[in-house]
Structure 1
């Protein structure tokens, strides 16, 4: 197993969930194959074993499945009206129409009418009969097997017109289902189209255009205004606004200049950029997103596993019911032809196609479109779990707050002069709070002056001589121990501290001069996000932080959070998550994907922020918000709940229509064409209902609950 390479292939003509299950089983039965997984959503197959494309195609010959290498450039799509199966369906319909006309001109049992119906059946159902008879010889019962039995039975009892109508309707349903599934899969194909296939690079002093697969790390891309960036990299020269919506879902372009990271598939809007490539084409962020989305769509959600298991027992039960319907009433004195016909109709109506496809289409659509919105959901199980969340725990620093300190308030008689003296001292310090003050001074265009005899006082602050006067800058407790500060100033300082600020006092030759308040500011979007989460049905929001209780409580109060636990070590956060799970069952943890790993792993759903630049977030979290903010979190909750709702509707549609059709047996009203309409109608209802998820995103709207 370790020495055998896993190969991936793209599939064409894979439109049926039942067919995907059978195809996977057939591949696994090839002697040289150690394992195989068919991804119905992404229309891909992964094979571990020494097999050729021809071997795999033979395993899918029952449904005309075509196999191609995954890296092959996408072929031009064949228009709907040119596809072989659709042309055949149209020809079948023409002969069916002539047959119906002939049955009115003559009668239904006339050789001309029967001949036209037979041609319609053979033309429209040739591939179905071929597959159905092969399945029947192996005692494998899928829709094509059941249909084959039903059509042969209809011919035996002389129902030629009915048989032709059923074949035509089945062909139409297959064509529409294939079209609908291709529509659902377009969420992935659109992701593949995001990054351009070629790029202009500088080599040997010349500009040349090359395919992205031949671009090497450290090559320099030349990106003109209005062009898409072809590879992940770092800006070497130039500055521009870059639209990153295709990766992060952010609507507002981000300004990029020398040293900033850029991603493949993003749009350079204004200036010209030179970008040094940092990743090969298969390792870019968009390539990872596509890979993870396809893997996520292959993973079966709990509801899908239930449906698959149910369908496994459901089909034999339907066959048994059909047999009893055809045999029992005639044995009790009823007419054989009538009840054999009813039994054939039960076979057709009982096919589990709609039931089997009820869940995967919704999951494929939801996960693919979430990725387009900058939300990476790594599997159907996580999509379902998000919809059941009752409580969400948040890390504070870098999640609810910006993650770095900023000056929030300055008090002094001469503000600019005061800032100049303090920032001059802090320039020599490496402390994050000192850096915040230096950055503030720079933004205010204040320049530092020379400092003599600088000395850092560990855990307290720093001192230095400026213009022959000794300045001391540091914590409130330290400054109070070396100087006298007015009572009203202490009152204001304590008020700022209660709001989550860290206050730095400064004295000149022992005389109080002013103070600066610094805090890790709350993100501008955090308040709205938490309000949206409550309206989306989240009952409990809790902050889990290692920060001190006073700061944490102040921020939690501003955000209207229901609970806060402060001063926590990583293992204590883990304990807090376990306690929340006991109380609320389904709990999410939101963090940066690197820190708080135990808590993220222990939660029902681990949600990482800033996945666009963090491999760890992409790999470890159950859900990655590609942008470095929480704005997409309420959307994700609503999307998941909408998907859960649609899956439940689909299962009800699939079973409900079957039950109604089967009840028509009692008065003897069930006909073959009603049976095929019930099966076709259920399948199309399920697929079209799932595509509602696609439509709600394509217009840029948030799905309603």
Structure 2
């Protein structure tokens, strides 16, 4: 598939009609033209000349770029370069077109006012020619397109306007016809500007992509374009520069601003061995970074690619509106014909008056405001979330995010940190307990061992090494320390001991609290025990409360851990229900059951949750973008915590509310205009204003989504 940037798309309805025409060409059946992003995707075998002709019929054009045939499957990289080359020409031509249009409108308005003032003072021919010049200046493109469409019997807004203008002139209503032409020109201009503003905010978001890097080879530094970087290259990143791609710090210390990727404003300290994201900005020190991924595979490139793709997908609401618009215009034309014919024929009405009313009804047939109800709101919502480090992979998912009523969480790594820590200890021999435990666990890499070692170090003990360490699966470790044998592990590891009532009740109490037990014993007695749990994230409880305020009715936790552990975490964070002992396939069936009752979002850290994320209506992954999370989830929280989830849901709800409101306003104003036609009070300029008012209003309301409320 080839991909092109298209400039000069004036309205959503026009884009839809153009797409339909391109699809009728040979090899055109897969073509898509997105009004939201101004992108055209076509089969490479299609005749570009014919495509350009179709676009030209609506004053649209393919924006010239350096890589003309830039292919989509060239991976995300290609579209990042082309971004630049496209952008300037696109903005230049579009800006130029807008300026010209504004100039024309101002001149026509001045001539129009002059004609009104002269009316009655000079010969009517002079006045009429002034009206004609003013109409021609502001409405000639509409008129030209409308006549062409009329010959092809294609009825869109231009055709409707042309019929109305010709009608108004034929009944001698010059003043009205000119006002209509000026208002319509203004309407078209504003409609284009609204979408342009939403697209521009998306493009500033996309412009964070780094352009070049300083590569270090044999001690010499050379500036190279991003595309030339290879895995394993070393780059030098000076203060204030962007890190070109994902990698790890070879040498140097600095703090790095990762806001472009995670949406987190606070800088993150980086030292040798730590990983860094491409697109993040180095604050103070000089860093030498070894590149781990070619730029097009980096987190930032993926984010930009996904955000761009996200504008392309059509939501169910948009598809419905488009379908509706298809039938709406012909229906209104029928109503207009009835308005023209019925009163004069059956009720002795005046033909001129009802012809005029019919023409006004025709203008009400334009579905522009209705078609704009959704795209600007969606692009604004996706952009706003992306600025906060929340990746929404498409308008569909944004719409679903706003409809969620149930959220299911994986426990480990999502509500908890995924790193065990000692919650409780029961000590029977203070002198030996931590010393022996430290000696045995010192060289182990097991997560539980790490938790125990933290506890040992906290007590200020520097343990010696144990000898003859042997592990027995499912039990624990046996080792010798200072010529004495010790056991460390679960309950099975101390089967050689008789347990006192006291010890037994301590074991039961720790287990009832949902803690994992590690016991330490010698050949005669127990020295003590650790109760270990996965540390709960500080923000989990606040997030769950915030989700309730955002309208989530039901929160559930799913985990492979013990049910008691699940209950303990559920109590601590405040979720409604918790299910333990689940295998990955059990999580999937739970999510499916929930989905049958409501709209479910599943939140996981994306590593072992891929199946459950995929089976929920909305998969939400978190954790600095593990590749599998970015691949399987519909929404990715680029931070390593859940803090931004409630605000993402609020943006989703705001977008849905805005779209519903917009549909209501645009249909409401049209209905009022149609009702005015019954007593014969509808005038052409009221009809245009009803459409224009709705268009401007819908655009402005949609753009408010971009405004962040600072807390």
State how far apart, in whole Å, the 2-side matches of 1:497 and 1:677 are: 72
CA deviation map 1:603-639 (0-9, x unaligned) = 22111112x4322211211211121221122112212
Q: Is 1:585 aligned to residue 601 of structure 2? A: no
Q: RMSD across aligned C-alpha pairs, in angstroms?
A: 2.3
Who is 2:527 aligned against? 513
Given that 2:432 and 2:527 are in contact with CA atoms closer than 8 Å, whether structure 1 keeps it comes out as: no
Q: Is 1:597 aligned to residue 610 of structure 2? A: yes
Change (3 A) 1:323 1:412: same
Who is 2:21 aligned against? 26
Change (3 A) 1:416 1:361: farther
TM-score by length of 2: 0.92
State how far apart, in whole Å, the 1-side matches of 2:97 and 2:152 are: 34
Who is 2:275 aligned against? 261
3-state SS of the aligned residue for 1:180?
Answer: helix
Moved more, 121-130 or 283-292: 283-292
The correspondence for 2:115, drawn from 87, 99, 110, is: 99
TM-score by length of 1: 0.93
Gaps in structure 2 of 5+ consecutive residues: 66-78
Q: Following TM superposition, by how much is the alpha carbon of 1:223 offset from its aligned partner in structure 2, in angstroms?
A: 1.3
1:69-148 superposed matches below 5 A: 69=65, 70=79, 71-72=81-82, 73=84, 74-75=87-88, 77-78=91-92, 79=95, 83-103=99-119, 105-106=121-122, 110-148=124-162
1:619-638 superposed matches below 5 A: 619-638=631-650
Change (3 A) 1:304 1:26: same
Who is 1:423 aligned against? 438
Who is 1:365 aligned against? 380
Q: Following TM superposition, by how much is the alpha carbon of 1:494 offset from its aligned partner in structure 2, in angstroms?
A: 3.4
State how far apart, in whole Å, the 2-side matches of 1:20 and 1:417 are: 78
Q: Following TM superposition, by how much is the alpha carbon of 1:597 offset from its aligned partner in structure 2, in angstroms?
A: 3.1
State how far apart, in whole Å, the 2-side matches of 1:80 and 1:650 are: 30
Q: Following TM superposition, by how much is the alpha carbon of 1:486 offset from its aligned partner in structure 2, in angstroms?
A: 5.9
Count of equivalent residues: 689
Q: Following TM superposition, by how much is the alpha carbon of 1:660 offset from its aligned partner in structure 2, in angstroms?
A: 0.6
The correspondence for 2:517, drawn from 498, 503, 507, is: 503
Moved more, 23-32 or 317-326: 23-32
Who is 1:3 aligned against? none
1:32-43 superposed matches below 5 A: 32-43=27-38
Q: Is 1:694 aligned to residue 706 of structure 2? A: yes
Who is 2:75 aligned against? none
CA deviation map 1:28-69 (0-9, x unaligned) = 233254521112211111112234765433221022223234
Q: Following TM superposition, by how much is the alpha carbon of 1:508 offset from its aligned partner in structure 2, in angstroms?
A: 4.1
1:176-325 superposed matches below 5 A: 176-325=190-339
Gaps in structure 1 of 5+ consecutive residues: 1-5
Given that 1:41 and 1:294 are in contact with CA atoms closer than 8 Å, whether structure 2 keeps it comes out as: no
Given that 2:602 and 2:612 are in contact with CA atoms closer than 8 Å, whether structure 1 keeps it comes out as: yes
Change (3 A) 1:175 1:158: same
Q: Following TM superposition, by how much is the alpha carbon of 1:600 offset from its aligned partner in structure 2, in angstroms?
A: 2.2
3-state SS of the aligned residue for 2:639?
Answer: coil
State how far apart, in whole Å, the 1-side matches of 2:431 and 2:703 are: 60
Q: Following TM superposition, by how much is the alpha carbon of 1:466 offset from its aligned partner in structure 2, in angstroms?
A: 1.9
Who is 2:627 aligned against? 615
State how far apart, in whole Å, the 1-side matches of 2:453 and 2:215 are: 39
3-state SS of the aligned residue for 1:35?
Answer: coil
Change (3 A) 1:256 1:440: farther
Q: Following TM superposition, by how much is the alpha carbon of 1:451 offset from its aligned partner in structure 2, in angstroms?
A: 1.8
State how far apart, in whole Å, the 2-side matches of 1:319 and 1:538 are: 45
Moved more, 420-429 or 319-328: 420-429
Who is 1:344 aligned against? 359
State how far apart, in whole Å, the 2-side matches of 1:587 and 1:575 are: 13
Given that 2:428 and 2:526 are in contact with CA atoms closer than 8 Å, whether structure 1 keeps it comes out as: no
Q: Following TM superposition, by how much is the alpha carbon of 1:700 offset from its aligned partner in structure 2, in angstroms?
A: 4.6
State how far apart, in whole Å, the 2-side matches of 1:143 and 1:153 are: 15
Who is 2:468 aligned against? 453
Who is 2:45 aligned against? 50
State how far apart, in whole Å, the 1-side matches of 2:226 and 2:106 are: 42
State how far apart, in whole Å, the 1-side matches of 2:459 and 2:155 are: 77
Given that 2:9 and 2:60 are in contact with CA atoms closer than 8 Å, whether structure 1 keeps it comes out as: yes
State how far apart, in whole Å, the 1-side matches of 2:155 and 2:416 are: 58
State how far apart, in whole Å, the 1-side matches of 2:211 and 2:176 are: 51
Q: Following TM superposition, by how much is the alpha carbon of 1:189 offset from its aligned partner in structure 2, in angstroms?
A: 0.2
Change (3 A) 1:153 1:593: same
